[in-house]
Every structure is written in C-alpha cells, then in structure tokens.
Amino acid sequence: MTDRKTQDPGAAPRPEEARPEEKGVEKEAEAERSLEELQAEVETLRDHLLRAKAEVQNVLKRSEREKSEIAQYAIAGFA
C-alpha cells in the first residue's frame, strides 16, 4: 500500500505551478488581439490618408483647369 503522505510531492504539477504558463498564454493571446486591432486601425487610417491625398490632388487639378479656362474666356472677350 502507498501512503499519500509518502508520495513524491514534486511528481504531480500543482495548480499554482500551471498558472504562470496560463497567464503567459493569456497575455500572448491578448497581445496578438491587440496587435491585430492596431493593424486594422493602421490600414483604416492609411486608406483615409490616401483618399484625402487623392482629393487634394483632384482639387488642385480642378482649380488649375478652371484658372486656365477663366484666363481663356477673359482673353476671348477682348479679341
């Protein structure tokens, strides 16, 4: 017969010993979720930036075109 008191206490993992690994896994999973959220936010902000940049370029081109049209009409009135 084996007495429970004489068994090697280091043979079976204790719940306290398993917890640091679980905490590490939880922290890693949380960090991965946070990273994915931040990457999605970066992509969204990059999209907004590119769209705003394109809009500015379109406004500049449109204003240059309108400026040249106004100049041509002004000259045509004197001719």
Backbone angles phi and psi of 73, in degrees to 5 = -70, -35
User: 3-state DSSP helix/strand/coil percent for the chain, to nearest 5?
Assistant: 85, 0, 15
* pTM of the predicted protein model: 0.57
Query: How far apart, in whole angstroms, are the C-alpha atoms of residue 46 and residue 57?
Result: 17
Question: pLDDT tens digits for 7-55?
Answer: 555 555 555 555 777 888 999 999 999 999 999 999 999 999 999 999 9
Separation CA 24–CA 29 (nearest Å): 9
